[in-house]
Amino acid sequence: MNEKMKTLMAEIEPKLLAFCQDIVRIKSYTGKEEEVILRIEREMVSLGYDKVVIDANGSVIGIIGTGDTRIYFDGHTDTVVAKPEEWSFDPWAGDIVDGYLRGRGSTDMKSSAAASVYGAYLARELGLTEGKTVYVSCSVMEEDYEGTAVQNEFSELNFKPDYAVICEPTRLRIGNGHHGRALFEVTAKGKSIHASRHQLGDNALNKALKVAERVEKFGKTLLEADGAKGAIASTKLVTDAPSINSIPGLAVLTIDRRITPESTEETLADEMNLLCDGIPDVTWKIVDTMGESWTGKDVVLRNMINAWQTDPSHHLIETAKAAVQELGVAPEVYRRNGCTNGWVTGGAEHIPTIIFGAGDEANCHVINETCPVSQIPIACQFYAALIGML
Residues 21 and 152 in one domain: yes
Instruction: Give me the mean pLDDT over the 164-173 stretch.
Output: 98
Residues 76 and 9 in one domain: yes
pLDDT in tens, 118-134: 999 999 999 999 999 99
Q: Are 85 and 346 in contact (CB under 8 A)?
A: no
Residues 12 and 161 in one domain: yes
pLDDT in tens, 342-375: 999 999 999 999 999 999 999 999 999 999 999 9
Residues 261 and 362 in one domain: no
Residue 1 has pLDDT above 70, yes or no: no
Residue 100 has pLDDT above 70, yes or no: yes
- Degrees (nearest 5) of the Cα angle 373, 47, 57? 85
| Domain enclosing residue 242, as ranges | 180-292
Given 292, 319, 352, the domain boundary residue is 292
**Exposed (0-12), middle (13-18) or buried (19+): which is 126, by Cβ within 10 Å?**
middle
Evaluate whether residue 15 is within a structural domain.
Answer: yes
pLDDT of residue 300: 96
Residue 211 has pLDDT above 70, yes or no: yes
Q: Which band of pLDDT confidence, cut at 50, 70 and 90, is reported for residue 79?
A: very high
Residues 321 and 235 in one domain: no
- Residue 97: how many CB atoms within 10 A of its CB? 11
Name every residue whose Cβ is closer than 8 Å to that of residue 169 and which is 6 or more positions away in sequence.
Answer: 107, 108, 109, 111, 112, 357, 358, 359, 360, 361, 363, 364, 371
- Which domain CATH number covers 256? 3.30.70.360
Between 224 and 111, the more confident residue is 111
Residues 155 and 194 in one domain: no
Name the nearest CA neighbour of 334 among 314, 310, 351: 310
Evaluate whether residue 186 is within a structural domain.
Answer: yes
pLDDT in tens, 131-149: 999 999 999 999 999 999 9
pLDDT of residue 2: 83
Residues 323 and 287 in one domain: no
Name the nearest CA neighbour of 171 among 26, 382, 30: 382
pLDDT of residue 228: 79
Residues 9 and 123 in one domain: yes
Instruction: Give me the mean pLDDT over the 328-339 stretch.
Output: 92
Residues 103 and 227 in one domain: no
DSSP code of 191? B
Residues 89 and 208 in one domain: no
Structural domain tally of the chain?
Answer: 2
Q: Which band of pLDDT confidence, cut at 50, 70 and 90, is reported for residue 337?
A: confident
Q: Measured over all CA atoms, what is the biggest interatomic distance in the chain, rounded to whole angstroms?
A: 83
Residues 127 and 20 in one domain: yes
Q: Which band of pLDDT confidence, cut at 50, 70 and 90, is reported for residue 225?
A: confident
59/140 Cα distance (integer angstroms): 5
Evaluate whether residue 299 is within a structural domain.
Answer: no
Residue 3 has pLDDT above 90, yes or no: no
